[in-house]
Amino acid sequence: MHELAITQSIVDAITDRVGDGRVRMVHLEIGALAGIVPDSVCFCFDLVSEGTGLAGAELEISRPKGRSRCRECGSEFEHEDPIAACRCGGVDLDVLSGRELRIVSVEVV
């Protein structure tokens, strides 16, 4: 359940920046290959944010797709699964996107 630690990091990072400000919305980016379950983050968020300026804030989670370049044939392709193969059969991949785990912005009142 690393989502609990991840969500704690999200709340800590935002609190460090906005202090006592009341946060109404949090925009996160969690890539499809990041190994993080967005639903679990939402579940943990209610627990972790309790008693902070983030309590009751809405979570907006963007989900960038995985995109890789095949090291064998050089072609780029999208995939949702962390275990992917190129059309040429190559599995040695250079992951270009999909591992994002970022706090994009917050809306403060």
Partner 1 sequence: MCRTCGCGEDEDVRVYEPTEAGHEHPRTREHEHGHEHPHSRHARTIELGVPVLAKNDELAARNRERLKEIGAFAVNLMSSPGSGKTTLLERTIRALDGARPVCVVEGDQETPLDAQRIRATGCRAVQINTGAGCHLDAVMFADALDRLGPPADALVLTENVGNLVCPALFDLGEQARAVIASVTEGADKPLKYPHMFQSADLLILNKIDLLPYVEFDVEQFAANARRVNPRVRIMHVSATRGDGLGAWTEWLLGRT
Chain positions contacting partner 1, by CB under 8 A:
1-2, 5-6, 9-10, 12-21, 24, 28, 35-36, 82-83, 91-92, 101-109
Task: Report the relative pairing of strands 76-79 and 66-70 from DSSP bridges.
Answer: antiparallel
Cβ closer to partner 1: 55 or 108? 108
- How far apart CA 102 and CA 70 sit, in angstroms, is 25
Closest CB 62 distance from partner 1, rounded Å: 13
Cβ closer to partner 1: 12 or 76? 12
Closest CB 78 distance from partner 1, rounded Å: 17
Cβ closer to partner 1: 15 or 97? 15
Structure tokens at 53: 């300026």
Closest CB 35 distance from partner 1, rounded Å: 4
Closest CB 19 distance from partner 1, rounded Å: 4
Chain centroid offset of residue 45 CA: 13
DSSP state of 48: H
User: Cβ of 96: how many Cβ atoms within 10 Å?
Assistant: 12
Cβ closer to partner 1: 76 or 105? 105
- How far apart CA 23 and CA 56 sit, in angstroms, is 8
